[in-house]
């Protein structure tokens, strides 16, 4: 009798699966597209490398989480364009003893749009899209600011892909 219950529970659990693609979370990317281009994001900030870092992180995240082939802009079904509009570094906390920064936040703000190349219309677009990273700048850890940039960029890549799934 217990074996029948286990089999029944497995059948119910597997009903939530979507064939060989794994669990169905409800939000999916549109299947009518096969490829995406992600040109280097424009950058209007003092951080000269942020556009390159963000583009690279986003391309890697799309390779992991989407069915789309990453292609050049001239041959892709869709293109994901963006512009980094602001980088903000803020002291979050300071040492009472020295007055030096203990924790520092690194926030990146950007605008982006995912465009269907056949119609020229935006599939999803966001303005003022932001994410942050944080480091402990004081001793003994003394983490470099690059670590905060890395965290912000990785979160942005994850959030952009999540937003691509949400609106279509």
The first and second tokens of residue 55, run together, are: 């583009």
Range list of H helices, the chain: 2-15, 50-65, 145-166
Placement of tokens 């529970």 in the chain: 9
pLDDT tens digit string along 12-40? 444 444 433 344 444 588 888 999 999 99
Tell whether the torsion through CA atoms of 141, 55, 168 and 24 is positive or negative: negative
**What pLDDT shows up at residue 165?**
84
Instruction: Judge: domain 29-166, CATH 3.30.70.3270.
Output: no
Q: Minimal CA–CA distance to 84: which of 134, 144, 156, 151?
A: 156
pLDDT over 80 (residue 83): yes
pLDDT tens digit string along 131-159? 888 877 666 666 677 888 888 899 999 99
Q: Minimal CA–CA distance to 67: which of 44, 43, 36?
A: 36
Kindly give, in sequence order, each residue whose CB lies less than 8 Å from that of residue 85, ignoring residues fewer than 6 positions away: 44, 45, 109, 110, 111, 128
pLDDT tens digit string along 94-139? 777 777 677 888 899 999 999 999 999 999 999 999 988 887 766 6
pLDDT tens digit string along 39-68? 999 999 998 999 999 999 999 999 999 999
């Amino acid at each position: 009798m217990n074996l029948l219950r286990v089999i029944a529970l497995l059948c119910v659990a597997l009903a939530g699966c979507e064939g060989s693609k794994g669990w169905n979370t409800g939000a999916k990317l549109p299947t009518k597209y096969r490829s995406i281009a992600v040109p280097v994001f424009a950058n209007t900030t003092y951080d000269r490398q942020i556009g390159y870092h963000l583009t690279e992180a986003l391309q890697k995240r799309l390779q992991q989480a989407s069915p789309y082939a990453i292609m050049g802009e001239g041959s892709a079904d869709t293109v994901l364009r963006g512009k980094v509009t602001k980088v903000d570094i803020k002291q979050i906390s300071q040492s009472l003893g020295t007055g030096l920064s203990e924790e520092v936040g690194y926030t990146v703000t950007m605008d982006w749009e995912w465009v269907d190349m056949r119609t020229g219309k935006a599939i999803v677009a966001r303005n003022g899209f932001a994410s942050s990273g944080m480091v402990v700048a004081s001793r003994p850890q003394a983490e470099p600011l690059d670590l905060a940039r890395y965290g912000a960029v990785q979160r942005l890549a994850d959030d952009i892909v999540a937003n691509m799934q949400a609106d279509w």
